[in-house]
Protein backbone atom coordinates (compact mmCIF):
# COMPACT_ATOMS: atom_id res chain seq x y z
CA UNK A 1 0.00 0.00 0.00
CA UNK A 2 1.46 3.35 -1.04
CA UNK A 3 1.53 6.21 1.46
CA UNK A 4 2.90 9.74 1.63
CA UNK A 5 5.65 8.65 4.02
CA UNK A 6 8.69 7.36 2.10
CA UNK A 7 9.90 5.47 5.18
CA UNK A 8 6.80 3.26 5.31
CA UNK A 9 8.53 0.80 2.99
CA UNK A 10 11.61 0.64 5.26
CA UNK A 11 12.14 -1.96 7.99
CA UNK A 12 14.00 -0.99 11.13
CA UNK A 13 16.53 -3.52 12.40
CA UNK A 14 20.05 -3.77 13.82
CA UNK A 15 22.98 -4.69 11.57
CA UNK A 16 25.95 -6.57 13.04
CA UNK A 17 29.05 -4.75 11.77
CA UNK A 18 31.79 -6.15 14.02
CA UNK A 19 33.17 -8.53 11.39
CA UNK A 20 31.90 -6.75 8.31
CA UNK A 21 34.08 -4.96 5.78
CA UNK A 22 32.89 -1.35 5.80
CA UNK A 23 34.13 1.32 3.40
CA UNK A 24 33.55 5.01 4.16
CA UNK A 25 34.03 7.59 1.41
CA UNK A 26 34.71 11.03 2.88
CA UNK A 27 36.62 12.46 5.82
CA UNK A 28 34.57 15.44 7.01
CA UNK A 29 32.19 16.00 9.90
CA UNK A 30 29.38 13.93 8.40
CA UNK A 31 31.71 11.00 7.83
CA UNK A 32 33.07 11.47 11.35
CA UNK A 33 29.62 11.03 12.95
CA UNK A 34 28.99 7.82 11.02
CA UNK A 35 32.47 6.44 11.60
CA UNK A 36 32.16 6.97 15.35
CA UNK A 37 28.93 4.95 15.36
CA UNK A 38 30.60 2.20 13.36
CA UNK A 39 33.63 2.09 15.64
CA UNK A 40 31.44 2.10 18.76
CA UNK A 41 29.65 -0.94 17.31
CA UNK A 42 32.87 -2.88 16.78
CA UNK A 43 33.66 -2.17 13.13
CA UNK A 44 37.09 -1.19 11.81
CA UNK A 45 36.03 0.87 8.79
CA UNK A 46 38.28 1.73 5.86
CA UNK A 47 38.24 5.44 4.98
CA UNK A 48 39.03 6.89 1.59
CA UNK A 49 39.63 10.64 1.73
CA UNK A 50 42.49 13.09 1.08
CA UNK A 51 41.89 14.66 4.50
CA UNK A 52 40.44 13.75 7.89
CA UNK A 53 38.91 15.71 10.73
CA UNK A 54 41.03 15.83 13.88
CA UNK A 55 38.82 13.22 15.57
CA UNK A 56 39.05 10.86 12.60
CA UNK A 57 42.80 11.37 12.52
CA UNK A 58 43.02 10.30 16.16
CA UNK A 59 40.94 7.21 15.39
CA UNK A 60 43.41 6.37 12.63
CA UNK A 61 46.40 6.92 14.94
CA UNK A 62 44.91 4.56 17.52
CA UNK A 63 44.17 1.84 14.96
CA UNK A 64 40.39 2.12 15.04
CA UNK A 65 40.15 2.87 11.32
CA UNK A 66 42.16 2.20 8.16
CA UNK A 67 42.89 5.33 6.09
CA UNK A 68 43.60 5.56 2.39
CA UNK A 69 44.82 9.16 1.97
CA UNK A 70 43.45 9.94 -1.48
CA UNK A 71 40.27 10.45 -3.43
CA UNK A 72 37.94 7.58 -4.22
CA UNK A 73 38.70 5.50 -7.30
CA UNK A 74 36.46 2.92 -8.90
CA UNK A 75 38.68 0.06 -7.76
CA UNK A 76 37.95 0.86 -4.09
CA UNK A 77 34.59 -0.87 -4.44
CA UNK A 78 34.58 -4.62 -4.96
CA UNK A 79 32.27 -7.49 -4.07
CA UNK A 80 33.97 -8.31 -0.73
CA UNK A 81 32.82 -4.97 0.70
CA UNK A 82 29.72 -5.48 2.88
CA UNK A 83 28.69 -1.85 3.36
CA UNK A 84 29.72 1.44 1.80
CA UNK A 85 28.99 4.73 3.56
CA UNK A 86 29.02 7.67 1.15
CA UNK A 87 29.74 10.97 2.89
CA UNK A 88 31.41 13.32 0.42
CA UNK A 89 30.23 16.85 -0.42
CA UNK A 90 30.10 16.08 -4.16
CA UNK A 91 26.62 14.91 -5.16
CA UNK A 92 27.81 13.69 -8.57
CA UNK A 93 30.53 11.55 -7.01
CA UNK A 94 28.05 10.23 -4.45
CA UNK A 95 25.67 9.22 -7.22
CA UNK A 96 28.41 7.42 -9.12
CA UNK A 97 29.53 5.49 -6.05
CA UNK A 98 25.95 4.54 -5.19
CA UNK A 99 25.34 3.29 -8.73
CA UNK A 100 28.51 1.20 -8.63
CA UNK A 101 27.60 -0.22 -5.21
CA UNK A 102 24.15 -1.23 -6.42
CA UNK A 103 25.64 -2.99 -9.45
CA UNK A 104 27.94 -4.96 -7.14
CA UNK A 105 25.18 -5.79 -4.66
CA UNK A 106 26.81 -3.81 -1.84
CA UNK A 107 24.66 -2.21 0.84
CA UNK A 108 24.88 1.57 0.62
CA UNK A 109 24.27 4.42 3.07
CA UNK A 110 24.14 7.93 1.59
CA UNK A 111 24.62 10.99 3.75
CA UNK A 112 23.50 13.43 1.04
CA UNK A 113 20.29 11.58 0.12
CA UNK A 114 19.60 8.90 2.76
CA UNK A 115 16.37 7.57 1.27
CA UNK A 116 18.16 6.69 -1.97
CA UNK A 117 20.44 4.31 -0.13
CA UNK A 118 19.77 0.95 1.48
CA UNK A 119 20.59 1.90 5.08
CA UNK A 120 20.03 5.09 7.08
CA UNK A 121 21.85 6.19 10.22
CA UNK A 122 19.20 7.31 12.74
CA UNK A 123 19.86 9.42 15.81
CA UNK A 124 20.86 6.88 18.44
CA UNK A 125 21.56 6.54 22.13
CA UNK A 126 22.73 3.83 24.51
CA UNK A 127 21.89 3.24 28.13
CA UNK A 128 23.77 0.12 29.12
CA UNK A 129 22.18 -2.74 27.20
CA UNK A 130 19.38 -0.52 25.90
CA UNK A 131 19.59 0.95 22.40
CA UNK A 132 17.18 3.57 21.09
CA UNK A 133 17.17 4.70 17.47
CA UNK A 134 15.11 7.69 16.29
CA UNK A 135 14.21 8.69 12.75
CA UNK A 136 11.96 11.39 11.31
CA UNK A 137 11.90 9.68 7.90
CA UNK A 138 14.44 12.15 6.57
CA UNK A 139 12.28 15.17 7.42
CA UNK A 140 14.66 16.63 9.99
CA UNK A 141 17.86 15.05 11.35
CA UNK A 142 17.94 17.88 13.90
CA UNK A 143 14.54 16.86 15.26
CA UNK A 144 15.63 13.22 15.40
CA UNK A 145 18.60 14.27 17.53
CA UNK A 146 16.35 16.45 19.70
CA UNK A 147 13.93 13.58 20.36
CA UNK A 148 16.86 11.30 21.18
CA UNK A 149 18.28 13.81 23.67
CA UNK A 150 14.85 14.28 25.26
CA UNK A 151 14.41 10.51 25.67
CA UNK A 152 17.86 10.26 27.21
CA UNK A 153 16.92 12.87 29.80
CA UNK A 154 13.57 11.22 30.54
CA UNK A 155 14.83 7.66 31.04
CA UNK A 156 15.19 6.89 34.75
CA UNK A 157 18.64 5.92 36.00
CA UNK A 158 17.34 2.51 37.04
CA UNK A 159 16.61 1.51 33.44
CA UNK A 160 20.15 0.24 32.80
CA UNK A 161 20.12 -1.94 35.91
CA UNK A 162 16.64 -3.18 35.00
CA UNK A 163 17.77 -4.40 31.59
CA UNK A 164 20.77 -6.26 33.05
CA UNK A 165 18.62 -7.73 35.81
CA UNK A 166 15.96 -8.97 33.37
CA UNK A 167 18.69 -10.64 31.31
CA UNK A 168 19.88 -12.52 34.40
CA UNK A 169 16.35 -13.40 35.54
CA UNK A 170 15.44 -14.66 32.09
CA UNK A 171 18.41 -17.04 32.17
CA UNK A 172 17.37 -18.36 35.61
CA UNK A 173 13.77 -18.91 34.52
CA UNK A 174 14.76 -20.72 31.34
CA UNK A 175 17.03 -23.05 33.33
CA UNK A 176 14.07 -23.83 35.59
CA UNK A 177 11.82 -24.51 32.61
CA UNK A 178 9.63 -21.50 33.39
CA UNK A 179 8.38 -19.28 30.56
CA UNK A 180 9.98 -15.87 31.27
CA UNK A 181 7.47 -13.73 29.35
CA UNK A 182 4.64 -13.44 31.91
CA UNK A 183 7.02 -12.81 34.81
CA UNK A 184 9.20 -10.23 33.07
CA UNK A 185 6.09 -8.46 31.84
CA UNK A 186 5.31 -7.66 35.49
CA UNK A 187 8.59 -5.74 35.62
CA UNK A 188 8.22 -3.93 32.30
CA UNK A 189 5.07 -1.80 32.32
CA UNK A 190 5.50 1.99 32.11
CA UNK A 191 3.66 2.38 35.41
CA UNK A 192 5.93 -0.08 37.21
CA UNK A 193 9.10 1.50 35.81
CA UNK A 194 7.93 4.91 37.00
CA UNK A 195 7.24 3.47 40.46
CA UNK A 196 10.63 1.81 40.98
CA UNK A 197 12.43 4.83 39.54
CA UNK A 198 11.57 6.63 42.80
CA UNK A 199 10.97 3.67 45.14
CA UNK A 200 13.59 0.92 44.95
CA UNK A 201 11.87 -0.94 47.79
CA UNK A 202 8.98 -1.66 45.42
CA UNK A 203 11.46 -3.59 43.28
CA UNK A 204 12.42 -5.86 46.20
CA UNK A 205 8.78 -6.42 47.20
CA UNK A 206 7.83 -7.49 43.69
CA UNK A 207 10.82 -9.83 43.42
CA UNK A 208 9.86 -11.47 46.72
CA UNK A 209 6.29 -11.92 45.51
CA UNK A 210 7.48 -13.69 42.37
CA UNK A 211 9.88 -15.88 44.38
CA UNK A 212 7.08 -16.95 46.69
CA UNK A 213 4.69 -17.69 43.83
CA UNK A 214 7.15 -19.79 41.84
CA UNK A 215 9.27 -21.18 44.71
CA UNK A 216 12.58 -19.99 43.32
CA UNK A 217 15.39 -17.56 44.09
CA UNK A 218 15.98 -14.66 41.72
CA UNK A 219 19.07 -12.47 41.38
CA UNK A 220 18.88 -8.92 42.73
CA UNK A 221 19.46 -5.79 40.63
CA UNK A 222 22.76 -4.02 41.11
CA UNK A 223 22.68 -0.93 43.38
Report how far residue 87's alpha carbon sits from residue 65's, in angstroms, rounded to the nearest whole number: 16
CB of 65 within 8 A of CB of 44?
Answer: yes
Q: Whole-angstrom distance between the N-terminal and C-terminal Cα of the chain?
A: 49
- DSSP alpha helices (H): ranges in the chain? 29-40, 54-61, 91-104, 141-154, 158-175, 180-186, 190-198, 200-214
Tell me the per-residue pLDDT of 1-60, one tens digit each, with 9 for 90 and over: 556 777 778 888 899 999 999 999 999 999 999 999 999 999 999 999 999 999 999 999
pLDDT band (50, 70, 90) for residue 68: very high
CB of 165 within 8 A of CB of 222?
Answer: yes
Average pLDDT taken over every residue of the chain: 92
CB of 218 within 8 A of CB of 210?
Answer: yes
pTM (2 decimals)? 0.83
**Residues above pLDDT 90, as percent of the chain:** 70
Q: Considering only CA atoms, which of 87, 123, 49 is closest in space to residue 98?
A: 87
Mean pLDDT of 72-83: 96
In the prediction, which pLDDT does 2 show? 59
Tell me the per-residue pLDDT of 142-175, one tens digit each, with 9 for 90 and over: 999 999 999 999 888 888 989 999 999 999 999 9
Q: How does DSSP classify residue 221?
A: P
Q: What residues does each domain of the chain span?
A: 14-121, 125-143+151-223
CATH hierarchy code of domain 14-121: 3.40.50.720
Residue 133 has pLDDT above 90, yes or no: yes
Amino acid sequence: METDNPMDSWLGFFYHVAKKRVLVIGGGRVAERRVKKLVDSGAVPELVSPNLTSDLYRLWQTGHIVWKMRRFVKGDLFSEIDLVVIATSDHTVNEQIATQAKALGILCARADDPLRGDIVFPASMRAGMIRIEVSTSGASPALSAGIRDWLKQELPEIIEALAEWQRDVRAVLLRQGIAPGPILKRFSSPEWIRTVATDRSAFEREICAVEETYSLVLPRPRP
